[in-house]
């Protein structure tokens, strides 16, 4: 039975078995049942797509600057509308300002542990973030787990919901495949302050670090990853559905990890930097 046929067997209204349990029994990823894009009216989707394109090109623009810039590409939206759509897409400017990640008022916020910390080896620090992926007639969310020192994308997941489960799935897979980091750094979004994410880290004895409020630069490497992905892959295709999005993202991340050299890594690829340093550490 193919994965698509197994997905068709999922019953979201089933009160006896949770979605997580159904997915485990069918041996499919829970997040894969959410590859149907979130739908909105066509006009709003076009504005959201253009806001994302402008922000990707000018990450220092806030809602005011984006609203002023939109008429250059034939769009019009007031600052408050732009701000609301930036909240939906999770966009946050590089200067200190209101945090666009949806923080839960009752969740504990952990301190930022990376200030003045030399990060020099694989699995010392991992980071994670969520970005918006435009798709025909809707949009999806993408989460990635990245090794900070080597820039390697360890795992990723697509979903049409900001439910924390797809983030936890990516984290659990990364730990299973690569071991655990000493520190995990994220923003203060509710997906990263919720019980499932925190419990997974705590059980694995991983220290928890969270960006300062409105501090885009605290997680700068994964933000650069999003810009490269969108400019080099997402914006070059008219993506029709979640499964095409998954194929495009998978192909680009494979290229990014194994073929794309980084100046900051002495022109090595993330795979070479990660596995080379990891083997050196084991031998030491």
Q: Are residues 131 and 28 in the same domain?
A: no
Q: Are residues 140 and 269 in the same domain?
A: yes
Q: What is the pLDDT of residue 9?
A: 40
| Residue in the structure block whose two tokens are 């697509």 | 158
89-119 confidence digits (pLDDT tens): 766 654 433 333 455 455 688 999 998 899 9
For 79, counting Cβ atoms within 10 Å of its Cβ (0-12 exposed, 13-18 middle, 19+ buried), the class is middle
Structural domain range at position 25? 3-34
Q: Is residue 70 part of a domain?
A: no
What is residue 32's predicted lDDT score, i.e. its pLDDT? 52
Domain assignment of residue 62, yes or no: no
Say what the pLDDT of residue 53 is: 86
Residue 103 lies in a domain: no
Is the domain of 154 the same as that of 266?
yes
Query: Does residue 106 fall inside a structural domain?
Result: no
Same domain? 29 vs 162: no
Q: Which residue has the tokens 């930036």?
A: 86
In a domain, residue 84? The reply is: no
**Token digits for 220?**
């700068």
Whether 118 maps to a domain, the answer reads no
In this predicted structure, what is the pLDDT of residue 149?
95
Per the structure, the count of domains in the chain is 2
Asked if 30 and 131 sit in the same domain, the reply is: no
Angstrom distances, CA of residue 256 to CA of 79, 147, 228: 35, 13, 9
Q: Kindly report the CATH number assigned to the domain that includes residue 266.
A: 3.30.420.10
Domain shared by 141 and 265, yes or no:
yes
Same domain, 13 and 154: no
Average pLDDT of adjacent 10-residue blocks, the chain of 284 residues? 41 50 50 62 86 83 89 89 82 45 64 92 95 87 95 94 88 96 93 93 96 64 90 91 91 96 93 80 52
- Rounded CA gap, 258 and 270, in Å? 7
């Amino acid at each position: 039975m193919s994965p698509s046929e197994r997905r068709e067997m999922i019953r979201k209204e089933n009160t006896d078995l949770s979605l997580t349990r159904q997915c485990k029994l069918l041996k499919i990823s829970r997040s894969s049942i959410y590859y149907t894009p979130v739908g909105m009216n066509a006009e709003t989707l076009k504005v959201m797509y253009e806001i994302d394109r402008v922000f990707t090109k000018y990450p220092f623009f806030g809602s005011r600057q984006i609203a002023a810039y939109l008429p250059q590409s034939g769009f019009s939206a007031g600052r408050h509308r732009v701000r609301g759509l930036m909240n939906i897409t999770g966009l946050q400017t590089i200067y200190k300002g209101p945090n666009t990640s949806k923080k839960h008022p009752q969740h504990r916020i952990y301190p930022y542990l990376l200030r003045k910390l030399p990060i020099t080896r694989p699995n010392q620090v991992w980071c994670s973030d969520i970005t918006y992926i435009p798709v025909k007639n809707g949009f999806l969310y993408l989460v990635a787990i990245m090794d900070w020192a080597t820039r390697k994308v360890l795992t990723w997941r697509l979903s049409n919901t900001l439910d924390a489960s797809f983030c936890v799935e990516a984290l659990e897979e990364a730990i299973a495949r690569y071991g655990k980091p000493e520190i995990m750094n994220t923003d203060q979004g509710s997906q990263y302050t919720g019980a499932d994410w925190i419990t997974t880290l705590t059980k694995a004895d991983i220290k928890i670090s969270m960006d300062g409020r409105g501090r885009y630069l605290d997680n700068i490497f994964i933000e650069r990853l999003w810009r490269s992905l969108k400019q080099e892959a997402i914006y070059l295709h008219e993506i029709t559905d979640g499964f095409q999005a998954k194929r495009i993202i998978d192909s680009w991340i494979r290229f990014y990890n194994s073929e794309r050299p980084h100046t900051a890594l002495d022109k090595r690829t993330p795979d070479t930097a990660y596995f080379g340093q990891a083997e050196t550490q084991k031998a030491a």
